Structure 1
């Protein structure tokens, strides 16, 4: 496999996670929405890194504000620890979350250039608060070649 193909195969994914108070609700069994998300994300990370250990992940938690919990890394232990540390608070500001995710990846595009860049938005619903339009930020991501999944 050529070096170019190796570089193109690397995927940088920002996990943009809603940690608003509504994520504390317990809809299924005795687990909160956030606990279910954490379990699913850990399984996802383990599976993705088993396929390609070069893939990198970053974590952005959003509620009233967005906070970068982890910069891009492929360190499985750091990723899992950051996921486990998430706690519900505040009101959902989706636009702020996408904006913070976009900032991480746009910086990486300038540095790395060739990686596949993705924002995976995980939320339980409608954005209730925020000064940043999430649609405009998603459109900006698309213009930069960043995939936004929900």
Structure 2
């Protein structure tokens, strides 16, 4: 929450209009020493060009901004931040995300399969704020991008960088699952789970997905599989990250969910067939509730003060006003 610790300081801003009113009615004006020349028949002083007029007005505006920044600094702006700090462990969840080129197909609402998957992961990260999150991406191979961590900022920033085609063409489901299991088996979390999001059958990798699914059962790791995609002709559009070649056209989607449904069954897990945004939201909500753990926590209060930034701005405006009036307008201050 943002607020000012000393709000009465803003009454000082009333001095600005008061000053200009007093000067306008000639009660308060600059000290000047008139010099009268009896034989002077020339014209009165006039600004030479629009540039000097502009600089004069600009200088006054900057002076006003200088004063306003001082008032804001005196008002002591502060941002009160409340952070929930967990004192007990929550669930440990590793997402295994398919990044094969077919995930660029746009058939989940107006989004591509990968965009919808990434948005669903963000939603689940918000729902399970006390859980450790990890990320594995897979295609022809699999790679661990984020080991299970409580650092939401790091996790979400890494998730944003994920794009289709970065691990080639293919779907190494078994390798992706085994990579996730490796990083979960030593976790001390009371609940451990894998959320696999894919649109294809296993056709790559050295580990059979059924072997990985049975291993998850042995390690007491829950398995959730989201089969994302529709059947038929769907538009596809993406840029290959390795060659920078643009692929745009249509994909003949023959998405068969039976094989990945069997993987979920082999791992005593749950399978969700995702053909729409609503189905995806319902699946994520269901998984989130299943993996939610009651945790003890305390609220950590932190105050961030901003007065120094207004003081710095005031100094900058003061320097600008001095330069404009002393060197450009050649006024004596």
CA contact (8 A) 2:141 2:204 kept: no
CA contact (8 A) 1:46 1:76 kept: no
Relative contact order (alpha carbons < 8 A, sep ≥ 6): 1 or 2 greater?
A: 1
Residue aligning to 2:181: 102
CA contact (8 A) 1:34 1:88 kept: yes
SS at match of 1:107: coil
Structure 2 unpaired stretches of 5+ = 1-87, 226-333
| TM-score of the aligned structures, taking structure 2 as reference length | 0.39
* 1:40-65 Cα shifts (integer Å, max 9, x gaps): 1111111111xxx2x10100001111
Distance 1:73 1:22 in 2: 29
Residue aligning to 1:3: none
| TM-score of the aligned structures, taking structure 1 as reference length | 0.84
For 1:83-94, list aligned pairs within 5 A: 83-89=159-165, 90=168, 91-94=170-173
Distance 1:29 1:147 in 2: 29
Residue aligning to 2:207: 132
Distance 1:130 1:96 in 2: 6
Distance 1:44 1:77 in 2: 14
SS at match of 1:87: coil
CA contact (8 A) 1:16 1:97 kept: yes
Residue aligning to 1:143: 218
SS at match of 1:140: helix
Q: Aligned to 1:37, which of 94, 117, 121?
A: 117
Distance 1:29 1:117 in 2: 31
Query: 1:126: Cα distance to partner?
Result: 1.2
CA contact (8 A) 1:58 1:70 kept: yes
Residue aligning to 1:11: 91
Query: 1:30: Cα distance to partner?
Result: 4.2
Check if 1:77 corresponds to 2:145. Answer: no
SS at match of 2:193: strand
The structure having more radius of gyration, on CA atoms, is 2
Query: Alignment length, in residue pairs?
Result: 135
Structure 1 consecutive aligned stretches of length 4 or more whose deviation exceeds 6 Å? none
* 1:80-107 Cα shifts (integer Å, max 9, x gaps): 1121111111211101100100110123
